[in-house]
Amino acid sequence: MFKTRMTETFGIDHPIMLAGMNWITEPKLVSTVCNAGGLGLLAIARCNPKETRENIKQIRDLTDKPFGVNQILVGPGAKENIAVAIEEKVPVINYSLGKPWFVNDVHAYGGKVVGTIAIARHAAKAVQLGCDNNIHEHSGSEGIWN
């Protein structure tokens, strides 16, 4: 174990984050990464709110370590899924493609908000809106622009 800004921000042992990837990051994989000392993110854009809640509960059954969810904000069901994540007090909420209207709600229970961004001005805006950290990626990495 060694300390970095990432390990201190998220309360993890190793500066390793499992990206939230739809149909790949299932509760077992997320919890395995968390139990190994990293931060696992569950992609919830493919889930309805009931599935989101069930997946969060499954992760909690498999680990007591910090974990997160990842949601594309322009997708259908985004507001409902974020509401479930807040109700369940998920430690880290990662978003892409949109403005995080939920930062204050997440911070109220001690959670962290992480933006996934591709350009510098979006990174600056995310910080201005109160995000705790940003993931910087190529604009085509999610296949959205292809």
Is 100 inside a domain boundary? yes
Full-model pTM: 0.89
Q: Are strands 133-136 and 39-43 parallel, antiparallel or unpaired?
A: unpaired
Answer for the pair 93, 73: CB distance below 8 angstroms, yes or no.
Answer: no
Nearest to 32 by CA among 62, 12, 66, 6: 62
Is 146 inside a domain boundary? no
Residue 38 domain boundaries: 5-136
Nearest 5°: phi and psi at 15?
Answer: -80, 65
Domains identified in the chain, total number? 1
Is 143 inside a domain boundary? no
Is 124 inside a domain boundary? yes
Q: For residue 139, what pLDDT is reported?
A: 57
Is 142 inside a domain boundary? no
pLDDT grade, residue 138 (50/70/90)?
Answer: low
Is 131 inside a domain boundary? yes
Mean pLDDT across the stretch 28-51?
97
Each residue of 76-108: pLDDT tens digit?
999 999 999 999 999 999 998 888 999 999 999
User: 3-class DSSP state for residue 141?
Assistant: coil
What's 92's domain CATH number?
3.20.20.70
> Is 142 a residue whose pLDDT tops 70?
no
Proportion of the chain above pLDDT 90, given as a percent: 67
Q: State both tokens at 144.
A: 């959205």
Answer for the pair 69, 85: CB distance below 8 angstroms, yes or no.
Answer: yes
Is 97 inside a domain boundary? yes
Distances (CA, A) of 49 to 6, 52, 75, 83: 29, 5, 13, 9
Residue with tokens 């979006």: 122
Q: For residue 122, what pLDDT is reported?
A: 80
CB-based burial of residue 127 (10 Å sphere; 0-12 exposed, 13-18 middle, 19+ buried)?
middle
Each residue of 1-29: pLDDT tens digit?
779 999 999 999 999 999 888 888 999 99
Q: For residue 120, what pLDDT is reported?
A: 83
Is 144 inside a domain boundary? no
Q: Where are the alpha helices (DSSP H) in the chain?
A: 5-10, 27-35, 49-62, 78-87, 103-108, 120-128
